[in-house]
Amino acid sequence: MISAMSEFDFCPWLFADDATQDERDAQLAFQRGLAGLRSAGDRSFVSPLAAIHQADLTVGAHSYLAAHVYLTGEVQLGDNTSLNPYAVVRGPVRLGSGVRIGAHASLVGFNHSAEPDAPVYQQPIVAKGIVVGDDVWIGSNAIVLDGVTIGAHSIIGAGAVVTKDVPAWSVMVGNPARRIRDRRDQARPDSLAAKLTDFAAQAREQASRLLDRCWTGDTFTDQPAAAPTVRAVCDAVEIADLLLNAPPPQLGRDDLVRRLTALQDPATGLVPELGETRPLRLDSGSAYHVLSVGYALDLLGARLPHPVEAVRMDPARLVAELDGLPWARQAWSAGAWVDILATGLHWNRRLCDPREPVETLFGWLLTRQDAFSGLWGGPSAQEGRRQPVNGYYRLTRGTFAQFGLPVPRPEQTIDTVLAHARDDRFFGDGRGTACDVLDVIHPLWLCGRQTRHRRAEVQAWARDRLAATLTRWHPDAGFAFSPAPTTGTEHVPGLQGTEMWLAIIWLLADVLGESGALGYRPRGVHRPEAAPDLERGSGVGAVA
């Protein structure tokens, strides 16, 4: 029998080759008893965890519907067509053969009319339907609206919103989706889009083996033979979400949620490292777990079970804590503290707790930013601008980016970050750890959403870094945290390096307008959108 939850629910592409005869018989019995399933082709798979209601469903041969797919109305799937976890397809929708629908994508083949003489809930439903041609790839979180026809061989980038018909062979990105190229142009082996597509395909194909490499049989380690860590489990969740659109195949979703939620200390809301017994503080190394565990649970459809009590403080104390951070000497540590604090405030809001001094935090930041550099903190003789630039990334990631607010003084920031990016101590001769590169490209990307200031220089730096980074993938092992040609564990491929460089590659490619070729989009710690439940706000007052 197929269990209530099996690996096939979230990795249904494994069913055709790996299912036992009992599991095949159980799937056929399930399909025969499924109301609304008109017919299903040979070796097809429909997850019992999919929500199929008031449907008229036809499934072609070698096609599958994964767990938590939501499907209604008249829907036709051709052969070799797949709906990944959490996809929404509401008919009338006709999908051709060889179609791939990414996780959390939505295809809604009807709409409300919008006449002014009646409220929306009383408007009649209109339905033109959606038609998707053969050999089409619709990325994760993409949305296709009623009346759209997508021509054969097209690619709809992750997060795109398709409102008009798409010609065959199109590559579409953005909201509203725009055509950026003919897919056949990617046949040029020297094009950046082709290299990104090839890289992503290689990474997806090797993802399971990459995760197996760091799997002990019970948990994950960052590198083979290393000690298990909390972050390694979270990095495995992020990598699997990026490349497989599913939890790591080594552990089921429920098991991962149980393990991660059990780690949180109810008294502080912080998450200790495995075996850690010292008092938990916002400035301890394990405080980063507020980010990594919180977002890993978010990707798994869960959340931290307890409020993060450690971030709760009245405005006077918060100002005193911010004033006391080592901005002059260790701006990175100060920025990291702000990132953890702000992320804790965000998780508390997700638990419907309004008692958070968000205005105080943003007010302090807006009045303490250096007007000349656009940063918090200043350079030093030992490290130049490294500390404040790296601190800027952590600070703005947890505050302005996470809360969906514009960053102040973006042009001054771009000037300073570009100057730091020319520092050969950190970026010359192939240098550049994942932290150093991320802490440059994220500020340039974030500020670049508000201004085109020095755009050509930003893109030139991104292009050079991207070309170098794509060559550093280790087959079946991923990326090392540091590419520098020296010895040490930082130069061994591992989960942390892989998770970070995958996000960096997306940011570099997005600055160049090419991220759609990757077919993945970060949804965890490095997500480009505001955090869930905050992105609908407008300004600090809407989130405080």
Query: Mind spelling out the 3-state secondary structure of 458-494?
Result: HHHHHHHHHHHHHCCCECCCECECCCCCCCCHHHCEC
The answer to whether position 11 is within a domain reads yes
* Co-location of 178 and 202 in the same domain: no
* Co-location of 217 and 332 in the same domain: yes
The token duo for 414 is: 């771009």
The answer to whether position 544 is within a domain reads no
Give the model's pLDDT for residue 133. Answer: 94
Q: pLDDT by residue for the chain (544 residues), tens digit each?
A: 344 568 899 989 888 888 899 999 999 999 999 988 988 888 899 999 999 999 999 999 999 999 999 999 999 999 999 999 999 999 999 999 999 999 999 999 999 887 788 888 888 888 999 999 999 999 999 999 999 999 999 999 999 999 999 999 999 998 889 888 888 775 565 688 889 989 999 999 999 999 999 999 999 999 999 999 999 999 999 999 999 999 999 999 999 999 999 999 999 999 999 999 889 999 988 999 999 999 999 999 999 999 999 999 999 999 999 999 999 999 999 999 999 999 999 999 888 766 566 899 999 999 999 999 999 999 998 999 999 999 999 999 999 999 999 999 999 999 999 999 999 999 988 789 999 999 999 999 999 999 999 999 999 999 999 999 999 999 999 999 998 655 566 789 999 999 999 999 999 999 999 998 898 999 999 999 998 665 433 334 333 3
CATH of the domain at 231: 1.50.10
Candidates 275, 290, 155; CA nearest to 227 is: 275
- DSSP class of residue 206 equals H
Residue ending a domain, among 166, 187, 208, is 187
What angle (nearest 5°) sits at the alpha carbon of residue 347, between those of residues 366 and 504?
Answer: 70
Classify 360 as helix, strand or coil. Answer: helix
DSSP E strand boundaries for 146-200: 149-150, 155-156, 161-162, 170-173, 178-182
Helix, strand, coil shares, percent, the chain, to 5: 40, 15, 45
Quote the number of domains for the chain: 2
The answer to whether position 543 is within a domain reads no
* Co-location of 135 and 22 in the same domain: yes
Give the model's pLDDT for residue 354. Answer: 61
Candidates 64, 68, 49, 52; CA nearest to 2 is: 49
* Co-location of 492 and 368 in the same domain: yes
Residue ending a domain, among 149, 168, 187, is 187
* Co-location of 164 and 30 in the same domain: yes
| Sign (positive or negative) of CA dihedral 162, 165, 171, 176 | negative
Residue 297 CA: distances (Å) to CA of 86, 215, 306, 314: 16, 19, 13, 28
The answer to whether position 337 is within a domain reads yes
The answer to whether position 2 is within a domain reads no
Give the model's pLDDT for residue 542. Answer: 36
Other C-beta atoms closer than 10 Å to the C-beta of 471 total 9
CA distance 398 to 403: 8
Give the model's pLDDT for residue 1. Answer: 39
CA distance 431 to 342: 31
- DSSP class of residue 272 equals P
pTM of the predicted model as reported, rounded to 2 decimal places = 0.69
What angle (nearest 5°) sits at the alpha carbon of residue 232, between those of residues 228 and 233?
Answer: 95
The token duo for 420 is: 């730091």
Other C-beta atoms closer than 10 Å to the C-beta of 193 total 22
* Co-location of 35 and 120 in the same domain: yes
Give the model's pLDDT for residue 537. Answer: 39
Residue ending a domain, among 132, 155, 187, is 187
State which residues form the domain around 319. 192-538
Which H, E and C letters describe 137-149, residue by residue? EECCCCEECCCCE
